[in-house]
Amino acid sequence: MAGRRVVVIGLGNPDRGDDGLGPYVAERLAGRLSAGASLKMRTGDGLGLLDDWQGFEVAIIIDAAAPVGAPGRIHRIELETSGELPVVSQTSSHGFGFDEAFALASSMNMLPGRVIVYAVEGNSFDHGTGLTAAVAAFAEEVAVRVVEEVAGLLAGDGPGPIST
């Protein structure tokens, strides 16, 4: 996939337990991504994502997800970047998250061509705590899958599965 530009963004708050998974994986990815890929962290204002992925063809987001039964379980989801606008509820002036950033970017044609999310089910999101062991144990697996995906994208492989 010569000429395609890929950005990997670790998203989350390191002071909120497993929400810090995204930045934690991003730290592990330093120096491991194929040449031509960019690595970023977004630990605060979600609106900044619009800048983070501006100009890139593919954005890979690593984020923690609400627990649905298996802490550490990895979900790879490729989001639909065209078509109907997702409905989100903006309830806080301070808390623009990924959902709001994606919806806002979608409505203004500011999304990359592809947005792939690695969502890892969290366990605890307490204030002032780090990752739980159950979730941290899967960080390296996420990192390896992202390294492989980026290499594949830059080598011109076709798209991966829509969801796993």
Closest listed residue to residue 10, CA positions, set 111, 123, 118: 118
Provide the H-helix boundaries in 30-71.
49-52
Task: Report how far residue 61's alpha carbon sits from residue 87's, in angstroms, rounded to the nearest whole number.
Answer: 20
State which of positions 83-142 bind another protein (CB under 8 A).
85, 88-96, 100, 103-104, 107-110
Minimum CB separation from another protein for residue 99, in Å? Answer: 10
Q: How many residues bind another protein (CB under 8 A)?
A: 24
Contact 45, 100 (CB under 8 A): no
Minimum CB separation from another protein for residue 23, in Å? Answer: 13
Cβ neighbours of residue 60 under 8 Å, at least 6 residues apart?
A: 6, 7, 8, 9, 116, 117, 118, 146, 149, 150
Of 27, 32, 50, 114, the residue at the interface with another protein (CB under 8 A) is 50
Q: What are phi and psi of 39, to 5 degrees?
A: -125, 130
Of 48, 67, 97, 130, the residue at the interface with another protein (CB under 8 A) is 48
Judged by CB under 8 A, does residue 80 bind another protein?
A: no
- Only one of the segments 29-37, 38-46, 60-68, 137-145 lies at the binding site for another protein (rule: CB under 8 A); that segment is 38-46
Judged by CB under 8 A, does residue 82 bind another protein?
A: no
- Residues lying near another protein in the complex (CB under 8 A) are found at 43-45, 47-48, 50-51, 85, 88-96, 100, 103-104, 107-110
